[in-house]
Structure 1
Amino acid sequence: MPQSERMQQLAPVLAWIDSHRDAALTHLQQFCRQPSVAAQNWGMEEMAKMVEASLSELGAATQIIATEGYPVVVGQLAGDSARRLAIYNHYDVQPPEPLDAWSFPPFDATIHDGYLYARGVADNKGNLVARLWAARAWREVYGSLPCHVTFLFEGEEEIGSPHLGSFAAANRDLINADACLWETGYRDAEGALGIYAGVKGILYIELRTRGTAYDLHSSNAPLAPNAVWRLIAALNALRDAEGNILIPHFYDDVKAPSERERELLARFPVNVEAYQKSWESAILPGPSGSQTTPTERLLYAPTCNICGIWGGYSGSGSKTVIPAIAGVKIDFRLVPDQDPQKILGHLRRYLTERGFDDVEVIELEGTEYPGQSPIDTPLLEALVRSARTIYGIEPHVQVRTAGTGPMEALSQRYGIPAIGGAGVGHSESRTHAPNENIRVDDYILNIKHVAALLAEFAAM
């Protein structure tokens, strides 16, 4: 179908979305008012049922498929073309703490000055509900969708999707598709939508040290080992002052950008000034002598990041002790072709060789492999064209996002390309932080974007 005919076909769908703006917004508020914190098992059963009910109301053939953790909710809708699109999202959210840092209660879904504030509204309930409404618009106007759609909504993404891989392996018929629309998407400070074809992997670990059987009076410091000092010494062995990771063989499998990827890096650089303004901090400089840009460091550099550290007394006033135990949580963000299990082995050997065999290394849930699809896949082209139509601004295309998700386990392991970028978020959405928010207008635009994408993808 020529582009002009697709636009004529799309016009009444977009008009329907405009006329049902308030109902779509109310539906999103209902989703955001239902807590669904996987890490705390808070509201997860209720949320899964709400998702399934919304799919049923849409007319989808639905299933709630149990896993060893929280279930995957599946909905299938037939379409007019033979093209098959999987749509992946998650219905779990991050914990809302610290509660006193919120301007509005995290599960009230408050609308204020054109923004909707709620835990999970940008990550990932806004995207999930917008995609339901895009499908609903087509069905209300034409009675069917332009292409076949399978919704795959999991409940464990925020805890590392530990059971999505086994779900995919056991349900190959359900996940099979020509391509998969991935979960997330944000507009940058200039209003351009970011579109990406991959994600970083992650290895999440905990290091623990013990010095004595119990906390001692600090007067014993000349004689007694201190667990916190021991932990600091181990941490200093992992990374130098410029951020270079010192674990032998850590960088062996890292792939440098191709010529085509370097073109994208140069064409669509990250907005350093916007980051610095939002973070109220200068960005870190690269290693001395390195010619890599901030964009390349963000998307192509693996990391070793401290998420949290503890040991001893940190309450009010003073308590003079020698801490007996200490610990730190670390995430390694990994890039193609790094293998999380190989990195874990390198880490353990390195600590032992450096004399830190007393430091306990614990792999936590959430290990995920890097995921990467070709940047010339048809779904990416469809996302770009539909974004131009709806937003009126050229989207920014990059080979991957700096974040992590189970893209490899659900899609690429089975030869299904996965592309992300159709989302409701913006550069100040504060994902995972207090005052998470979206702009209401972006939510409506995203419904339209996904509706346009369905037509573009069906025509390819």
Structure 2
Amino acid sequence: MDESSSPHASRRDLLRGAAAGAMMLAPAAAHAARDGDLAKVQAAIRNDHEANLKRLRDWIALPTIAAESRNIEEGCTHMMQLAREAGFQQVERVPSKGIPGVFATMDNGAKTTLGLYFMYDVKQFDPAEWSSPPLESRIVDRPGMGQVLIGRGAVNQKGPESLVLAALQGFRKAGAKPPVNLVLVAEGEEEIGSPNFAEIVRSPRVLAALKKCSGIIIPASWQSPVDGGVSVNLGAKGVIELELVVTGEAWGRGPAKDLHSSNKAIVDSPAWRLVQALQTLVSADGNTPAIDGWFDKVRPLTPREKALIADSAAKRDQAHEMKQMGVRHLVDDLPWQQALERLAAMPTVNIEGLVSGYTGPGGKTILPARAVAKLDMRLVPDQTYEDCVAKIKAHLVKRGFGDIAVNVSGGYDPTETPEDSKLIKAELAAYERAGIKTSIYPRLAGSWPGYVFTSAPVSLPAGQFGFGHGSGAHAPDEYLVIESSNPKVMGMDDASAAFADFLYQVAVIG
């Protein structure tokens, strides 16, 4: 198709304009643009579309699922190969007490170094819930979106990470050096709460490399389908993942093995005991944590944070976001701005799964000997993972539930990055040059292990950044837009090209 008649032509022209604009901003960017490097990189990305798409599809076909111990070494080896192919000169496997990670460096002789955080593990999936097989990466037409790729990891996180890899491949194919040095740290157990990632990051060689970085980003593809806008988060909530287990044996009451349900008249039920314990963790409506001391260290929103949320609320489309979530009401039917304040400020206690006894077709009249609840808790500043785990256990013991096993699988502290940091300034400048509307939001309601970068001993700004759109993380039919029919949202090629432009802005700001 003639580029001038392509639906993506206006976006490509805009990106070329961004390169021209960069010439007026700083000598380093002007020199790169004068040599035509960025234009060559963008052309290389477009010409390599099929290879870049295949890279993502091959990656999705190899799922690393930490919770199932699936493809642990295979995923690590594949991540190392992707890093080498992208131009990282030094790539190594970093062992930990659990799942290994990957550490890689790319020296481009630049003055500025940027850190990249990748995760190569994905959430579990049930193929029966998907409209197409979750590992086949089929391309389908989606009204209002264009052609999208459906697959586990499409948006969380292999898709956005593949856009970065495509940008780096573009530099290689164009014979150009990225304008910044790069340090990559990748893990294969984020989806179980990154229990060993701090060990990887704080190992001597990795820590020394990260200390040279101006900041660290996790790739994201979160453009709004409504207006193409992006929220720039100044942090993220922390998380605890655990399961509560009640058994007749540990309790000393109830059956030692599943029993005929007629005996309920005279035998205690572990399942009901678990329900009673869960009810103590939250308010009657289930929406506010009621764990002893849970709010002791919760820091209220500052006036500046409230102002940022008000601005964000004005720029975001409530109806669209609710439709995307599949909900018709918010907690307490709060007004949109108040709901977004609660989203940023409220710690949570959530039941991920609740299992006991028979769950197959029909009924099975048993009194189960075991009941399990899988929970996650989101933490806000100034809560900490260790303090909150201790409070959960103490809360249960105080109420006579000391027999309930609290099996913590992972988690970490909240993370924060200053609004005036160079990293945030570079993000905002890159979005502005690409013509993308932005709002700043105090913290992501979800979680990623950015705390290990923002806290000592690394102590760097860190956040999410990227272009394009995808949705359905952790859910069936997770997708990433490949060829966008929405002029406000970038497809795969343009999103990769825009990331290349972002690297020049990082170099300009330092």
TM-score for both structures, normalised by structure 2 = 0.83
State the match for 2:474 in structure 1: 432
State the match for 2:277 in structure 1: 234
Distance in 2 (alpha carbons) for counterparts of 1:142 and 1:37: 36
State the match for 2:74 in structure 1: 46
State the match for 2:386 in structure 1: 341
Q: Cα offset for 1:21? A: 2.3
State the match for 2:5 in structure 1: none
2:438 matched to 1:395? Answer: yes
Distance in 2 (alpha carbons) for counterparts of 1:284 and 1:217: 41
State the match for 1:275 in structure 2: 321
State the match for 1:456 in structure 2: 505
State the match for 1:167 in structure 2: 200
Distance in 2 (alpha carbons) for counterparts of 1:241 and 1:207: 20
Q: 1:179 aligns with which of 205, 212, 215?
A: 215
2:187 matched to 1:149? Answer: no
Q: 1:18 aligns with which of 38, 41, 46?
A: 46
State the match for 2:266 in structure 1: 223
Distance in 2 (alpha carbons) for counterparts of 1:43 and 1:320: 38
Q: 2:148 aligns with which of 103, 111, 115?
A: 115
Distance in 2 (alpha carbons) for counterparts of 1:59 and 1:255: 43
3-state SS of 2:155 partner: helix
The answer as to whether partners of 2:238 and 2:448 remain within 8 angstroms in 1 is: yes
Distance in 2 (alpha carbons) for counterparts of 1:33 and 1:312: 34
Q: How does 1:30-69 map to 2 (within 5 A)?
A: 30-61=58-89, 62-69=91-98
The answer as to whether partners of 1:348 and 1:361 remain within 8 angstroms in 2 is: no
Tell me the amino acid that sits aligned with residue 503 of structure 2.
Answer: L
3-state SS of 2:353 partner: strand
Change (3 A) 1:57 1:356: closer
Q: How does 1:280-291 map to 2 (within 5 A)?
A: 280-286=326-332
3-state SS of 2:76 partner: helix
Structure 1 regions of 5+ residues with no counterpart? Answer: none
Structure 2 regions of 5+ residues with no counterpart? Answer: 1-22, 142-146, 249-253, 484-490
Worse overlay, 435-444 or 17-26: 17-26
Q: Cα offset for 1:325? A: 2.1
State the match for 2:296 in structure 1: 252
The answer as to whether partners of 2:240 and 2:410 remain within 8 angstroms in 1 is: yes
Q: Cα offset for 1:56? A: 2.0
| Cα deviation 1:196-240 (Å, max 9, x = unaligned) | 121111112222223222333333333221112111111111111
Distance in 2 (alpha carbons) for counterparts of 1:286 and 1:25: 44
Change (3 A) 1:70 1:340: closer
The answer as to whether partners of 1:122 and 1:424 remain within 8 angstroms in 2 is: no
Distance in 1 (alpha carbons) for counterparts of 2:359 and 2:87: 55
Tell me the amino acid that sits aligned with residue 121 of structure 1.
Answer: A
Q: How does 1:298-317 map to 2 (within 5 A)?
A: 298-317=343-362
Q: Cα offset for 1:73? A: 1.9
State the match for 1:2 in structure 2: 24
Worse overlay, 399-408 or 24-33: 24-33
The answer as to whether partners of 2:121 and 2:190 remain within 8 angstroms in 1 is: yes
Tell me the amino acid that sits aligned with residue 340 of structure 1.
Answer: Y
| Cα deviation 1:395-414 (Å, max 9, x = unaligned) | 23212211111111244332
Q: 2:397 aligns with which of 352, 375, 383?
A: 352
Q: 2:407 aligns with which of 363, 379, 403?
A: 363
Tell me the amino acid that sits aligned with residue 278 of structure 2.
Answer: L
State the match for 2:13 in structure 1: none
Q: Cα offset for 1:44? A: 3.1
3-state SS of 1:347 partner: helix
Distance in 1 (alpha carbons) for counterparts of 2:276 and 2:333: 22
CA RMSD between the two structures: 2.3
TM-score for both structures, normalised by structure 1 = 0.92
Change (3 A) 1:16 1:282: same
Change (3 A) 1:159 1:357: closer
3-state SS of 2:412 partner: coil
Distance in 2 (alpha carbons) for counterparts of 1:276 and 1:378: 33
Distance in 2 (alpha carbons) for counterparts of 1:133 and 1:291: 37
The answer as to whether partners of 1:67 and 1:167 remain within 8 angstroms in 2 is: yes
3-state SS of 1:64 partner: strand
Distance in 1 (alpha carbons) for counterparts of 2:208 and 2:44: 33
Tell me the amino acid that sits aligned with residue 364 of structure 1.
Answer: V
Distance in 2 (alpha carbons) for counterparts of 1:66 and 1:343: 28
The answer as to whether partners of 2:87 and 2:168 remain within 8 angstroms in 1 is: no
| Cα deviation 1:36-84 (Å, max 9, x = unaligned) | 2222232332332232223223332222222233322222222353111
Q: Cα offset for 1:119? A: 0.9
